[in-house]
Amino acid sequence: MPVDVAALIAHAEVLSADARALAACADRLRAVEAGLEAEGVAPPWLRSSVTAHLAACVTAAADLETAARDLRAYANQAARAPGARP
């Protein structure tokens, strides 16, 4: 069965977009915390929670970007193989 290179590349594109969205999520989390702190209504537990979440978002964004990059490499290699479907 021929390799569906286009499907692999499509997955990679989506994962890259998600990586950027997660990086943005980290910024949004920072903004949420900063907003509540500025108003003086942030619960005492919020900072540690947000800190953990945004660290995870950054890591997840990196993980997704890595997966996207490896998927592209995989697609390129598969495309060069005989019988691959562009």
- Give contact residues for other proteins (rule: CB under 8 A): 1, 3-4, 7-8, 11, 14-15, 18-19, 21-22, 25, 28-29, 32, 35-36, 39, 41, 43, 45-46, 49-50, 52-53, 55-57, 59-60, 62-64, 66-67, 69-71, 73-74, 76-78, 81, 83-84
Structural contact between residues 85 and 4, judged by C-beta atoms closer than 8 angstroms: yes
- DSSP result, 71-82: HHHHHHHHHHST
- Distance in Å, CB of 61 to other proteins, minimum: 8
Return the residue matching tokens 């953990």. Answer: 52
Structural contact between residues 3 and 84, judged by C-beta atoms closer than 8 angstroms: yes
Question: In angstroms, rounded to a whole number, what is the distance separating the alpha carbons of residues 37 and 45?
Answer: 12
- Distance in Å, CB of 68 to other proteins, minimum: 8
- Distance in Å, CB of 30 to other proteins, minimum: 11
